[in-house]
Amino acid sequence: MFTMINMKSNFLWLLILLLGIWGCSPDNTDPTNQVSDSLTQKQELDKGKQEEDVRFVSKDRNLENILSDFDKPLETFPTIWQNQAVTQKNGRLYREDILDEPFTGSVTEEFPDGSISLQTSYYKGLPHGQQVRNFPNGQKALEANFDQGVLVGVKSRWWPNGLIREEAYWSEGRYIGRRLWDRTGRVVKEEIVPQE
């Protein structure tokens, strides 16, 4: 019986010794390195997921390129109120008192309190650049970009609490898909139209 206890004791000591040696090997000398390595691996996996998570690539010009069509800064063009704008049969917007030349500048709408509800830039009578709609509290409600009257890139909408509500994806004048979120920020719907 004494021999059996000695054998168990020796085996236990041998096991502890092996675990101690294995725990001190060059790969595992510092437990903080293990945590650091795990975090690095997780970050690399997350980065890979983000790269795979590209839902939309627009073939359209970006906003900076679109705005370069204006021969001077957009702020230097006139800003008119929506009630001063007239859309003709040709689909172009004109200033009500200047009907012989399509309007270039910004068109603004306001809430009863005088705060801006909508601002859209126009170039030669067509929406061109950015359109921004606000909630009455000043929070952004919608943002979209246009290139000579055509919706391009991502059209975004927000909930009144500031969380994203929808992203609609457009490229070359075609609807590509969208993502919808609920008021708490959870994705509730995703749809992507198969590309040819």
Domain of residue 138, CATH code: 2.20.110
Q: Is residue 70 part of a domain?
A: yes
Give residue-wise pLDDT tens across range 99-115.
999 999 999 999 999 99
Return the bridge partners of 80, or none.
107
Q: Is residue 37 part of a domain?
A: no
Q: Is residue 99 part of a domain?
A: yes
For residue 109, give its domain range.
63-192
* Residue 192, both tokens: 């992507």
Q: Is residue 27 part of a domain?
A: no
Banded model confidence at residue 49, pLDDT cuts 50, 70, 90: very low
Q: Is residue 94 part of a domain?
A: yes
Banded model confidence at residue 44, pLDDT cuts 50, 70, 90: very low
Q: What is the 3-state secondary structure (H, E, C) of 152-178?
A: EEEEEEECCCCCEEEEEEEECCEEEEE
Q: What letter represents residue 173's amino acid?
A: G
How many domains, in total, are found in the chain? Answer: 1
Q: Is residue 106 part of a domain?
A: yes
What is the distance between the terminal CA atoms of the chain, rounded to a whole angstrom?
Answer: 80
Q: Is residue 171 part of a domain?
A: yes
Give residue-wise pLDDT tens across range 21-32.
444 444 444 444
Which pairing describes strands 105-110 and 79-81: parallel, antiparallel, or unpaired?
parallel
Q: Is residue 96 part of a domain?
A: yes
Q: How many CB atoms lie within 10 A of CB 85?
A: 18
pTM of the model: 0.69
pLDDT given for residue 119 in this prediction: 97
**Mean pLDDT, the chain, as a whole number?**
80
Give residue-wise pLDDT tens across range 133-182.
999 999 999 999 999 999 999 999 999 999 999 999 999 889 999 999 99
